[in-house]
Amino acid sequence: MAVYHDQMVVLKSRAYRDHDVILTLFGRTSGKVGAIAKGVRRPKSKLAGQVSPLTFSVVTLYHGRSSLDTVTEADLQRGFPRIADDLERLGWAMVLADVVDQLWPEREPSEESFVVLLSALDALHEGRAAASVGLAAGFRFLRIAGFSPDWDACGACQRPPQKGPVTVDLENGSVYCADCRAHTPAVAERISLGSLRSLQYWLKDHPNKYGQAEVKGSMKEELKRLFFRYVLHETARPLKSYEFLANVDRLSSGPEGGEKIDH
């Protein structure tokens, strides 16, 4: 039984009993932690503003015998208020919180993921290209969690793909160049060479650069499709935030159609 402090992002919050909330937190050194914050829903709670979803705080917790820790104090570092100004930004922030929640078991620290998440929230708050930020961070999470092919070499001939389309085998975690197309797997996505290059770039890029280069048009759409198929394949249940983001995209594409997400 012990008291500890950590830098933490609030991934989720749900109401509990009359005045409490149960939080899913992601800490720099403690990993994903479930915690109860008591009295947060009382009007005069000092904790309330410090532990809202998608905020970053230094949190003091008590770890006892229960599987849930108890938040005793929280000191808000960044609230990212401009994320909520734009539905696409909000949608991607929710997707990233969902992905971290789904991919990591409790109390398994990943400082790299923490830095990626915090940098992505900063970039979304700054108003950088939301889908580019979300995809760069999202594919990085998949790689850190071990769900990622070697994007740099064809799984058959071992050479770096030099022309598209490139086939991504989700089942076996391989990428096949255009010359090795005979290896077309059952669970596959095709992406252009340009999309593969963006992906390779994002995985090497420092997280504080996310969204400075924007992917658009068909590359954006095929990378989104690949990302959500990958997440679904690895977690075996759809992200709740995906539907939110898909609705935002439908609204923004308007009656003229534009690019549509698969139904």
Smallest distance from Zn ion to CB 163, Å: 10
- Stretch in the footprint of Zn ion (CB under 5 A) among 78-86, 124-132, 175-183, 248-256: 175-183
Q: Which span (34-42, 129-137, 180-188, 215-223) binds Zn ion, by CB under 5 A?
A: 180-188
Which C-beta is closer to Zn ion: that of 23 or that of 177? Answer: 177
To Zn ion, the closest distance from the beta carbon of 181 in angstroms equals 9
Of all residues in this chain, which one has the CB nearest to Zn ion in the complex?
Answer: 154
Any contact of residue 180 with Zn ion (CB under 5 A)? Answer: yes
From residue 133 to residue 162, the character string flagging contacts with Zn ion as x (rule: CB under 5 A) and all else as - is ---------------------x-xx-----
Cβ proximity to Zn ion, 116 vs 154, nearer residue: 154
HEC string of the chain equals CEEEEEEEEEEEEEEECCCEEEEEEEECCCEEEEEEECCCCCCCCCCHHHCCCCCEEEEEEEECCCCCEEEEEEEEEECCHHHHHCHHHHHHHHHHHHHHHHHCCECCCCHHHHHHHHHHHHHHHCCCCHHHHHHHHHHHHHHHCCCCCCCCCCCCCCCCCCCCCEEEECCCCEEECHHHHHHCCCCEEEECHHHHHHHHHHHHCCHHHCCCCCCCHHHHHHHHHHHHHHHHHHHCCCCHHHHHHHHHHHHHHCCCCCCCCCC
Does 166 contact Zn ion by CB under 5 A? no
CB nearer to Zn ion: pick between 156 and 188:
156
10 or 180: CB nearest Zn ion: 180
Residues forming the site for Zn ion (CB under 5 A): 154, 156-157, 177, 180
